[in-house]
């Protein structure tokens, strides 16, 4: 079982979208996908209405997801932790206990643009276009992650 965690700040815009998109692209029962936020701002809430509506437009249903906060235990529960921007990266890394934890954390867009350290822009204060833009960015990233899983044939382990 490969366990993948998507992380952003609020867990209501970007990471639930990344979770939903990747889930729609990976059909293997051998892959577990979840998301979390580094903040406690929106714990227990469904994703932002604009994120839900934009995803639905692309046939991805994230309406039932509920926000939770990233915890140290997530380092034990997940193999890959994809973060959206450098703030998320620093916040997650600050909780890492050792090198094994640290190596699990990766900027998601480095899967599309290796080593470029490009952020997925936060659409929270943006308009509808910002959400549409984030959808396409995350779709590309998830496609790359999903291809890595397929490349390994069994879809049981991601290559780097």
Annotation says 8 is catalytic: yes
Annotated catalytic residue, options 23, 85, 122, 142 = 122
Annotated catalytic residue, options 13, 14, 23, 85 = 14
| Separation between Cα atoms, residue 105 and residue 141, nearest integer Å | 15
Residues recorded for the chain: 160
Closest to ligand 4NP by CB, 16 vs 149, is 16
Three-class SS of residue 83? strand
110 backbone dihedrals φ, ψ, rounded to 5°: -70, -15
| Interface positions with ligand 4NP (CB under 6 A) | 8-14, 41, 122, 124
Annotation says 122 is catalytic: yes
Closest to ligand 4NP by CB, 67 vs 145, is 67
Annotation says 91 is catalytic: no
Q: Are strands 80-83 and 2-8 parallel, antiparallel or unpaired?
A: parallel
The catalytic residue positions are 8, 14, 122
């Amino acid at each position: 079982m490969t366990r993948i965690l998507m992380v952003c700040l609020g867990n209501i815009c970007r990471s639930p979208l990344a979770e939903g998109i990747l889930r729609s692209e990976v059909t293997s029962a051998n892959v577990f996908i979840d998301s979390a936020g580094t903040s406690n701002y929106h714990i227990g809430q469904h994703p932002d209405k604009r994120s839900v509506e934009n995803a639905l437009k692309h046939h991805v249903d994230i309406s039932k997801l509920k926000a939770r906060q990233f915890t140290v235990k997530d380092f034990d529960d997940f193999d890959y932790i994809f973060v959206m921007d450098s703030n998320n990266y620093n916040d997650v890394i600050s909780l890492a206990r050792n090198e094994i934890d640290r190596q699990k954390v990766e900027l998601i867009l480095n899967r599309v643009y290796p080593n470029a350290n490009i952020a997925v822009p936060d659409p929270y204060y943006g308009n509808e276009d910002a959400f549409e833009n984030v959808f396409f960015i995350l779709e590309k990233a998830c496609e790359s992650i999903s291809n890595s899983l397929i490349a390994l044939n069994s879809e049981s382990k991601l290559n780097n």
